[in-house]
Amino acid sequence: MHWVGTWATTPDPMEGVALAGQTLRMITRISIGGDCLRVRISNAYGDRDLVIGAARLGLRDAGASVAPDSNRALTFNGSASTTIPAGALAVSDPVTLDAPPLSDLAVSVYLPGDLPERFRLTGHSNAHQSNYISRPGDFTAEPALPVQQDTEAFLFVSGVDVLAPREVGGIVAFGDSLTEGNLSELDANHRWPDQLARRFAARQGARQLGVVNQGIGGNRLLHDRRGDNGLRRFDRDVLAQPGVTHVIVLIGINDLRNSHADPAEEVTASEMIAGLHQLVERAHSSGLKIFGGTLIPWEHETFRGGFYTPSAKQRGRRSTPGFATAAPSTR
């Protein structure tokens, strides 16, 4: 048996969010199921220690409610509370919970301290998932959370893992808004990694593969803009994912678009190929199979138009061999 990621979201610094002694209830749609799970909580961008007063994991009933008798207390090294240093990650102890594939889990986290905006909360802003923040107090054990406000962001909760047989593998979907699911319908789980998870779950008698989404809207391969650039975050968001065996990369459109028109961030086809080649080398060095997604056209985009140029299109077409130029691998 080994741990495999069944759900994840990419840590990113949050802006405009402040908390004061409240309980978070984050709703996660898992890919593969199991009866032994653990939760990951990230303080990757915090500027000081993050105190977790209590945490629980249960099956979501509806909205912000947890199904009766499913709300398991989480511990960290046997303690009900923990402190996560700035920039660090905490992984809970395992809990027993029968979680079917494609089910919704509710992760409840009580934060006893005040977290002002300057704390730099860690989360993921464009989640397209209704999550919940309570009024002040520890309500992690309450089936019905007293909701003070909704949020479409994930806060601090960055992953859920399941204990699975050794033959079960994991796929990381790594990219930008196309992977993150920008403009996806709220709470519909219509992102392409969600659909991929459904297709794997529907296969009878085939190998199980967990699917986790590590896309950030606006993310780029070579330069920081929204989130750390792809080359920088690849180790954390791909290689460090529990049980990962495969990675699907779909990134580069935002490098070519250069929507902020920064001359210092204009990229060439050679630079893009070199960056993609680095991802291939690092994936193969860790024994992973890596697949490159085709960069899609953006000449007639309606979301944020005006960034298409014929020269950028040509650079994109010449970047396609970035995966093919990597050394062959049988892994």
CATH of 166-322, one of 3.30.70.260, 3.40.50.970, 1.10.357.10, 3.40.50.1110: 3.40.50.1110
In this predicted structure, what is the pLDDT of residue 195?
Answer: 97
pTM over 0.95: no
Residue with tokens 């070519």: 256
Q: What is the pLDDT along the chain (331 residues), one digit of tens a residue?
A: 999 999 999 999 998 899 999 999 999 999 999 999 999 999 999 999 999 999 999 999 999 999 989 999 999 999 999 999 999 999 999 999 999 999 999 999 999 999 998 898 999 998 899 999 999 999 999 999 999 999 999 999 999 999 999 999 999 999 999 999 988 899 999 999 999 999 999 998 889 999 999 999 999 999 998 889 999 999 999 999 999 999 999 999 899 887 666 777 788 989 999 999 999 999 999 999 999 998 887 666 655 555 556 655 555 555 665 665 454 444 4
Distance CA 115, CA 155 (A): 12
What does DSSP say about strands 104-110 and 2-8: parallel, antiparallel, or unpaired? unpaired
What's residue 237's pLDDT? 98
DSSP strand pairing (122-124 vs 12-13): antiparallel
Nearest to 28 by CA among 18, 17, 41: 41
**Closest residue by Cα to residue 25 from 148, 190, 203:** 148
| Token reading at 281 | 């080398």
Question: Would you state the structure tokens that stand for residue 47, as one six-digit string?
Answer: 């500027």
What is residue 264's predicted lDDT score, i.e. its pLDDT? Answer: 79
Where do the domains of the chain lie? 2-160, 166-322
Contact partners, residue 25, CB within 8 Å, separation at least 6: 64, 66, 106, 107, 108, 131, 132, 133, 134, 145
Q: What secondary structure letter does DSSP report for 238?
A: I
The count of other CB atoms within 10 Å of the CB of residue 331 is 11
Q: What is the pLDDT of residue 327?
A: 47
Compute the CA torsion angle 111, 114, 119, 120 (nearest 10 deg): 50
Burial of 232 (0-12, 13-18, 19+ CB in 10 A): middle
- Chain centre distance of CA 198: 17
pLDDT of residue 330: 40
pLDDT for residue 227: 87
- The separation between CA 112 and the C-alpha centre of its own chain, rounded to angstroms, equals 25
Beta-carbon neighbour count of residue 131 at 10 Å?
23
Distance CA 10, CA 20 (A): 24
Q: Are 153 and 14 in contact (CB under 8 A)?
A: yes
Question: Bridge-partner residues for 91, per DSSP?
Answer: 40
